[in-house]
């Protein structure tokens, strides 16, 4: 084997070896060495290496018109064709060598010997990357039908002689090739218009078409400095390859190849955009443009080749790979990128053999299977409509509401909608307004993200491994998550799935390059914005987490990135401001938990700390128990944020408890056992298959109402408990109630605005009805556009005695488990003085233009146009324009839009930064 | 540092166990039920018989009278209440329907309305809001020549479903036709017990509402006279002033609508003395019992029924040419309205003081003018005569009283309990 510690070793041992060869094979074959000048590279090293060859070429030529002066014994030639034309017929081979190449001393001999032995017309060397000891650049290559090279080598693959066999190949690089002089002359030499790799491809194909054999000779090793270009990119290389194929193929092949090449280029360009590579499309454009420009010379070259053609295109196809190398590559990159996003330590994206040998792989697979089981009924039968798990509304209208438009919740309000309206509407839009599949998909993805995210976050805290992925199960189905699920807090469950990503984005080592750094800022911003959208009060958690981790000091933290990323929380600011005091002293929901469960959790955390993960365990412990404790003394928005933090803490605790350790102590075994118990307890939440959410309460029950509903009337829903109503509710006389549109509850109407005059009036109306003081409750409810009064049967004791004795609410007995009354005196939300209703249009209303005023049963304000006039708690607008809408730029709208812009900028930064890592 | 971390986590875990869970959110307590803003008069008839609805109580104002039948409101009339607080609606002025129940929308809950039916006799019955609870009508007869009809009226928007549980001297009746009776919205369903259960000397019925709400009345025609009673809800105590009318036999009828038998006792308030537990017996579950008062009380007086379970009590008055049913009064009170008293002729106002202290009382005309002032000694019933008048009267006392009225005239017997004022 050649000494790899010295690329050009003139040591005695090798010389002796060469001498042995000399004895076997006399130098009967005349070879001319043609060193092609590479721009900006002094060819002297190459010339020296040629001079030190143990197989002496007859003469050495330096090809390159621009090179001034020539070393002694070296003849200057303008180009290869001219040189070949002037060669004596006794010369059998020409060794073409790039000026940035350094062949080993035996390189030429090996080429000559093998070319002779295999009767090859063209033989190429094995190329090693210059400056390295043994990194492979090329050992001959195949192509696809479009001329795209396929070497089969991995980036940085080391030469272990694994390819050291002489074989026929599609083409060899022009960096070092030995070609029969007569053939080279007949083929008019190398195409001077082509870049190096394309040039080799072109020559190889022409040689093969002329009946010659093209082989690679691995024993001929040449170090290539790559100053002429790596040959793996650039539009000139691409153009050259296309030209090579256009020259080589018969017309019938070109007939289908060209359109396919165009389509492939288009697909490649589009797919590459997803990888953040925008240059592909212009490159394809230039490629085709260049070839169109050089079409005359290409046609001429085809004519020349036709004269010597000995074989058909089939001979070329023999050495080509199937399909498109580019598309295969970009597809592979995309899947790699996707997997890397989820699995930073490349658990999944490692090579197959490694994947299946990795415990983490099995951990993540097991966790994902559990997730699938845990949400199975959601995927099979849809998400229940209960609590905060509400259907998505019309995507465009929802986006307008998200961006500061009118909030139709209850009697309507100018307060911001819950920010989850934005991303859910976007997803619905992307799924072509298929809200149910979108809801199910989002749930599944969020739960899967949660599992993988816990693994990612745990890895940043040095407690990664299969246990961390199992911890993901505990995070998504454990005690805090179950508490949220029981309350129907679906958005909070989605928030749990996203939170580990936002937290992981603000810890970990500082990115190496500026581009990577900016990319990390971008992704952190996106992750934080996503979390904020679903659980707004979580907006500050990543920053606090980064600061806490920085204070601990053991783990790398990125507080600056966290600070900048917090700008992404702007999307949730209007909502948080609208909640005001309710954030801390709103009506809390029950945060229960069996003391035994809490005890087991505490034991698990403490054992994990004692076993060695004391810092990560402490972080997890504070998150769990701090979250669970504080969640009992604050309002529901903060409650769900704290419980989400606690849920992530449970996942980390399990990761710490099940952390793989080189040596197991009693404490670590005990921690693992305790962790197993926590996992088992968490699996209880998987059983129902609804992610712990209560059964559907309103989707099927309200179908009667939604048929042909146009959203211009409302329904008054009544329940004995607030969590059984869709979204937020208000306390009434002995029950809870809320208004929804007759089109059904939607996520944009999930949260009610702060109580205003309209709510006070509605409250008074409901009180009046509940006391039985009116014989015509329908008339009382008519100003609020209530057409349906729907009560859970559990409230019958309060509702029935009153509603059984009244005159204008007709009983609707066809709905199971609900008491339903239809108001015969209903008035639409928007109606003219003469009773002509206006229909809902987007976030506003429209109808036939009229000179009357149109009454809007909404708690509106002067931003409703045209000409809003307040009347009691509602108001009227001028009907002359045939439409009314809520307009004007509000601070909320500006803030949300600024947040969206920041998130988009973060997304671009993130993609850009990540693409720079490759 | 490690120990500190362990302590912090342990302390927080302990806090999780110690800090109390947030209280379950509860809505605010509902306000007390307001007085029903309406009254239903189930026994209105405008063909064959004449019906009037005298109104007493409250300030000047206006009532909405809605005659409903067959699922709709067939006639509506605004009834103006004079400054005196009285008014009368003649049903014939509004509709010609033979069976024409009326729903009065009350502008003022302190008003009381009574149904006065004449033709083939005379009868009086209070109008009320109806109830989802059992409503009992007592004292009917289905022997030959008698017609006893329980009238189920539903003036409301929702349909109602009821069972009629009848009991007679043969015990609790079993008749499938009386179960699951649907009373559609704004409709009236008459149940002729004389057809379904003929030959009963004394029959009573409880209407059990399974769904919705209705108002119940019963009309008994003997050929010579008619009697009427509005549905009454059960109670543990009942007071029944007994008139001293010549030739009239008085029977106390008790009905227990529950599913358990109910022991009871009768306290007899005779003019000369009070006989506590003068009679004790047991009412069968969903059964009735009749106690002829002639054996317990000679002449006028009062009876108090004290039962161990909910029952309904009424007096059945009979003479050769007349009959009447006068419901008992469950709770004494200081002020009473008698809208129909005197409209069928001079009436005896029976005022009973169940307390231990004498009460000074005033009999006022419906319009407020004083008719008579009198004292009611403790544990004593006093009968005061009210001259004939179109609209009834009021009784006010400085203590709790029980008030009913009866009229015995050529046209027959009639009577009713007074309605509490306010």
CB contact B277 to A (< 8 Å): no
Write the residue in A632, A771, A808 that is nearest to B157 by C-beta. A808
φ/ψ of A632, rounded to 5, equals -90, -5
d(CA B224, CA A11): 147
Residues in Cβ contact with A162 at an 8 Å cutoff, skipping those fewer than 6 apart:
none
Q: Which of A324, A351, A330 is nearest to A150 (CA)?
A: A324
Identify whether A866 is preceded by a cis peptide bond (ω within 30 of 0): yes
Render pLDDT for A766-784 as a digit per residue (tens, 0 to 9).
999 999 889 899 999 999 9
The ipTM of this complex is 0.83
Render pLDDT for B385-402 as a digit per residue (tens, 0 to 9).
999 999 999 999 999 999
Write the residue in B10, B17, B212 that is nearest to A606 by C-beta. B10
| pLDDT attached to residue A327 | 82
| pLDDT attached to residue A17 | 40
Which residues of chain A are under the pLDDT cut of 50?
1-26, 917-918
Residue A717 · residue A788 · CB < 8 Å: no
Task: Convert A236-251 to b/e letters by CB count within 10 Å (16 or more is b).
Answer: bbbbbbbbbbbbbbee
Residue A476 · residue A492 · CB < 8 Å: no
* Residues facing residue B372 across a β-bridge: B363
Torsion of CA A610, A614, A620, A624, to 10 degrees: 50
Q: Cβ contact (<8 Å) for B33 and A800?
A: no
| pLDDT attached to residue A9 | 36
Identify from A805, A812, A815, A825 which residue to disrupt to test chain B contact, counting B C-beta atoms within 10 A and taking the largest count. A805
Write the residue in B13, B34, B213 that is nearest to A804 by C-beta. B213
DSSP state of B243: -
CB contact B3 to A (< 8 Å): no
Render pLDDT for B12-67 as a digit per residue (tens, 0 to 9).
999 988 888 888 788 888 888 888 889 999 999 998 899 999 999 989 999 999 99
The distance of Cα A292 from the centroid of its chain, to the nearest Å, equals 37
Q: How many helices (H) and strands (E) does chain A have?
A: 36, 26
| pLDDT attached to residue A15 | 38
In Å, how far is B189's CA from the nearest CA of chain A? 17
Identify from B73, B158, B214 which residue to disrupt to test chain A contact, counting A C-beta atoms within 10 A and taking the largest count. B158
Mean pLDDT of B102-121: 93
Render pLDDT for B398-420 as a digit per residue (tens, 0 to 9).
999 999 999 998 889 999 999 99
Residue B185 · residue B156 · CB < 8 Å: yes
Indicate whether B320 pLDDT > 60.
yes
Mean pLDDT of B87-98: 93
State the CB neighbour count (10 A cutoff) for residue B34: 14
d(CA B305, CA B290): 13
Q: Cβ contact (<8 Å) for A775 and B37?
A: yes
d(CA A730, CA A737): 5
d(CA A727, CA A749): 8
Place of tokens 């030529």: A61
DSSP 3-state of A534? helix
d(CA A477, CA A371): 9
DSSP per-residue codes, B48-75? SSEEEEEEE-SSSEEEEEEEEETTEEEE
CA distance to A136, A190, A204, A340, A844, per residue, from A140 (Å): 11, 18, 10, 31, 68
| pLDDT attached to residue A351 | 52
Shortest CA distance from B209: residue in chain A: A804
Shortest CA distance from B161: residue in chain A: A804
Pairing of strands B347-353, B393-409: antiparallel
Q: Can you read off the two tokens belonging to residue A665?
A: 């102590």
Q: Cβ contact (<8 Å) for A771 and B20?
A: no
State the CB neighbour count (10 A cutoff) for residue A572: 28
DSSP run (H or E) holding A430: helix A421-430
Higher pLDDT, B276 or A890: B276
CB contact B48 to A (< 8 Å): no
Q: Cβ contact (<8 Å) for A732 and B27?
A: yes
Chain B segment 117-146 residues within 8 A of A by beta carbon are: 129-130, 132
φ/ψ of A331, rounded to 5, equals -65, -45
| pLDDT attached to residue A67 | 52
DSSP 3-state of A489? coil
Q: Cβ contact (<8 Å) for B13 and A602?
A: yes
φ/ψ of A301, rounded to 5, equals -65, -35
d(CA B285, CA A698): 43
| pLDDT attached to residue A78 | 79
Higher pLDDT, B117 or A381: B117
Q: Which residues of B touch A807 (CB under 8 A)?
A: 103, 155-157
Write the residue in A588, A609, A801 that is nearest to B22 by C-beta. A588
- Per 3-state DSSP, chain A is made up of helix, strand and coil in percentages (nearest 5) of 50, 15, 35
In Å, how far is A687's CA from the nearest CA of chain B? 26
Q: Can you read off the two tokens belonging to residue A552?
A: 């601990």
Residue A782 · residue A823 · CB < 8 Å: yes
Residue A569 · residue A540 · CB < 8 Å: yes
Chain B segment 195-224 residues within 8 A of A by beta carbon are: 211-213
Q: Cβ contact (<8 Å) for A733 and B29?
A: yes
Q: Which of A338, A326, A341 is nearest to A270 (CA)?
A: A326
């Amino acid at each position: 084997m050649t000494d790899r510690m010295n690329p050009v070793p003139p040591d005695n041992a090798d010389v002796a070896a060469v001498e042995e060869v000399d004895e076997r094979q006399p130098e009967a074959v005349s070879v001319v060495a043609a060193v092609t000048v590479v721009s900006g590279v002094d060819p002297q090293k190459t010339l020296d290496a040629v001079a030190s060859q143990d197989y002496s070429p007859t003469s050495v030529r330096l090809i390159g018109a621009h090179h001034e002066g020539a070393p002694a014994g070296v003849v200057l030639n303008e180009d290869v064709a001219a040189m070949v034309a002037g060669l004596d017929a006794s010369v059998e081979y020409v060794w073409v060598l790039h000026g940035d190449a350094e062949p080993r001393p035996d390189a030429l001999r090996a080429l000559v010997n093998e070319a002779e032995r295999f009767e090859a017309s063209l033989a190429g060397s094995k190329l090693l990357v210059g400056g390295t000891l043994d990194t492979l650049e090329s050992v001959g290559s195949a192509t696809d039908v479009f001329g795209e090279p396929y070497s089969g080598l991995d980036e940085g693959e080391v030469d272990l002689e694994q390819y050291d066999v002489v074989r026929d190949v599609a083409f060899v690089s022009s960096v070092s090739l030995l070609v029969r002089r007569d053939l080279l002359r007949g083929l008019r030499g190398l195409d001077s218009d082509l870049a190096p790799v394309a040039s080799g491809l072109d020559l190889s194909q022409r040689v093969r078409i002329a009946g010659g054999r093209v082989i690679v000779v691995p024993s001929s090793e040449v170090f290539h400095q790559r100053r002429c270009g790596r040959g793996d990119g650039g539009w000139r290389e691409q153009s050259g390859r296309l030209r090579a194929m256009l020259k080589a193929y018969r017309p019938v092949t070109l007939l289908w190849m060209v359109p396919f090449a165009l389509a492939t280029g288009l697909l490649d360009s589009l797919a590459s955009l997803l990888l953040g590579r925008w240059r592909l499309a212009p490159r394809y454009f230039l490629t085709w443009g260049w070839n169109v420009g050089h079409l005359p010379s290409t046609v001429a070259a085809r004519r020349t080749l036709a004269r010597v053609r000995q074989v058909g295109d089939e001979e070329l196809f023999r050495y080509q790979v199937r399909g498109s190398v580019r598309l295969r590559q970009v597809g592979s990159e995309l899947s790699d990128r996707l997997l890397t996003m989820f699995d930073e330590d490349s658990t999944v994206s490692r090579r197959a053999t490694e994947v299946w040998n990795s415990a983490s792989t099995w951990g993540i697979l097991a966790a994902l299977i559990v997730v699938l089981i845990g949400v199975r009924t959601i995927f099979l039968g849809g998400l229940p409509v209960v609590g905060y798990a509400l259907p998505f509304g019309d995507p465009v209208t929802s986006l307008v509401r998200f961006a500061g438009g009118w909030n139709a919740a209850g009697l309507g309000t100018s307060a911001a909608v819950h920010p989850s309206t934005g991303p859910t509407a976007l997803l619905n839009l992307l799924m072509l307004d298929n809200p149910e599949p979108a809801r199910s998909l989002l749930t599944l993805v969020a739960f899967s993200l949660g599992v993988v995210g816990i693994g990612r976050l745990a890895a940043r805290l040095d407690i990664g491994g299969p246990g961390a992925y199992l911890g993901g199960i505990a995070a998504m189905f454990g005690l805090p998550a179950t508490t949220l699920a029981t309350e129907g807090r679906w958005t909070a469950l989605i928030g749990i799935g996203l939170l580990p990503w936002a937290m992981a984005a603000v810890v970990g080592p500082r990115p190496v390059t500026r581009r990577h750094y900016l990319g990390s800022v971008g992704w952190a911003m996106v992750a934080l914005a996503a979390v904020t959208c679903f659980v707004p009060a979580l907006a500050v958690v990543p920053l606090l987490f980064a600061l806490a981790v920085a204070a601990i000091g053991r783990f790398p933290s990125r507080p600056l990135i966290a600070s900048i990323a917090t700008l992404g929380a702007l999307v949730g600011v209007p909502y948080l401001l609208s909640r005001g005091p309710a954030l801390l002293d709103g009506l809390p929901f029950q945060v229960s938990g069996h003391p035994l469960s809490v005890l087991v959790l505490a034991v698990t955390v403490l054992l994990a700390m004692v076993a060695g993960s004391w810092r990560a365990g402490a972080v997890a412990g504070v998150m769990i128990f701090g979250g669970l404790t504080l969640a009992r003394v604050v309002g529901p928005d903060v409650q769900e944020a704290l419980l989400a933090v606690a849920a992530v803490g449970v996942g980390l605790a399990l990761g710490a408890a099940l952390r793989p350790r080189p040596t197991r102590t009693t404490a670590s075994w005990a921690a693992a056992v305790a962790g197993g118990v926590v996992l088992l307890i968490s699996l209880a939440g998987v059983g129902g298959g609804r992610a712990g959410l209560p059964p559907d309460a309103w989707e099927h029950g309200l179908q009667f109402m939604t048929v042909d509903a146009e959203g211009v009337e409302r329904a008054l829903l009544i329940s004995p408990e607030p969590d059984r109503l869709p979204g937020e509710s208000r306390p009434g006389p002995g029950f809870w109630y809320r208004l929804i549109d007759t089109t059904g509850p939607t996520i944009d109407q999930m949260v009610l605005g702060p109580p205003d005059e309209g709510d006070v009036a509605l409250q008074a109306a409901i009180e009046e009805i509940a006391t039985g003081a009116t014989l015509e409750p329908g008339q009382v409810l008519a100003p609020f556009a209530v057409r349906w009064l729907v009560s859970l049967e559990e409230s019958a004791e309060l509702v029935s005695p009153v509603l059984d004795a009244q005159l204008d609410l007709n009983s609707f007995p066809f709905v199971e488990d609900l008491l339903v009354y239809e108001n015969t005196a209903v008035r639409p939300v928007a109606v003219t003085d003469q009773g002509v209703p206006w229909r809902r249009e987007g976030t506003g209303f429209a109808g036939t233009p009229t000179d009357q005023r149109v009454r809007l049963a909404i708690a509106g304000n002067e931003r409703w146009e045209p000409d809003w006039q307040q009347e009691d708690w509602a108001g009227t607008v001028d009907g002359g324009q045939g439409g009314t809408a809520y307009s004007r730029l509000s601070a909320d709208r500006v803030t949300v839009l600024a947040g969206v812009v920041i998130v988009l900028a973060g997304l671009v930064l993130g993609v850009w930064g990540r693409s720079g890592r490759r | 540092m490690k120990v500190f971390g362990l302590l912090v986590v342990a302390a927080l875990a302990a806090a999780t166990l110690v800090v109390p869970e947030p209280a379950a959110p509860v809505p605010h307590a509902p306000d007390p039920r307001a007085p029903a803003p309406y009254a239903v008069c189930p026994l209105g008839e405008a063909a064959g018989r004449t019906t009037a609805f005298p109104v007493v109580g409250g300030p000047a104002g206006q009532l909405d009278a809605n005659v409903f039948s067959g699922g709709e409101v067939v006639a509506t009339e605004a009834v103006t209440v004079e400054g005196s607080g009285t008014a009368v609606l003649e049903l014939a002025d509004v509709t010609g329907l033979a069976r024409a129940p009326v729903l009065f929308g009350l502008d003022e809950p302190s008003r009381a309305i009574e149904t006065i039916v004449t033709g083939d006799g005379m009868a009086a019955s209070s109008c009320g809001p109806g109830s989802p609870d059992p409503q009992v009508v007592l004292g009917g007869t289905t022997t030959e020549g008698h017609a006893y009809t329980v009238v189920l009226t539903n003036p409301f928007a929702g349909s109602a479903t009821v069972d009629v549980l009848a009991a007679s001297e043969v015990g609790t009746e079993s008749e499938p036709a009386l179960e699951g009776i649907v009373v559609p919205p704004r409709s009236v369903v008459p149940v002729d017990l004389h057809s379904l259960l003929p030959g009963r000397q004394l029959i009573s019925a409880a209407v059990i509402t399974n769904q919705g709400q209705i108002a119940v009345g019963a009309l008994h025609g003997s050929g010579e006279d008619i009697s009427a009673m509005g549905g009454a809800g059960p109670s543990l105590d009942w007071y029944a002033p007994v008139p001293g009318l010549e030739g009239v036999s008085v029977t106390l009828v008790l009905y227990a609508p529950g599913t358990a038998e109910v022991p009871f006792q009768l306290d007899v308030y005779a003019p000369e003395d009070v006989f506590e537990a003068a009679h004790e017996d047991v009412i069968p579950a969903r059964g009735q019992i009749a106690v002829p008062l002639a054996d317990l009380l000679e002449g006028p007086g009062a009876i108090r029924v004290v039962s161990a379970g909910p029952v309904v009590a009424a007096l059945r008055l009979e003479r050769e040419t007349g009959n009447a049913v006068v419901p008992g009064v469950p709770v004494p009170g200081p002020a009473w309205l008698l809208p129909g008293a005197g409209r069928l002729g001079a009436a005896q106002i029976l005022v009973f003081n169940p307390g231990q202290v004498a009460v000074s009382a005033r009999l006022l005309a419906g319009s407020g003018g004083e008719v008579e002032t009198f004292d009611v000694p403790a544990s004593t019933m006093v009968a005061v005569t009210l001259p004939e008048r179109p609209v009834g009267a009021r009784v006010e006392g400085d203590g709790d009283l029980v008030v009913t009225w009866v009229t015995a005239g050529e046209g027959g017997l009639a009577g009713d309990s007074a309605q509490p004022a306010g």
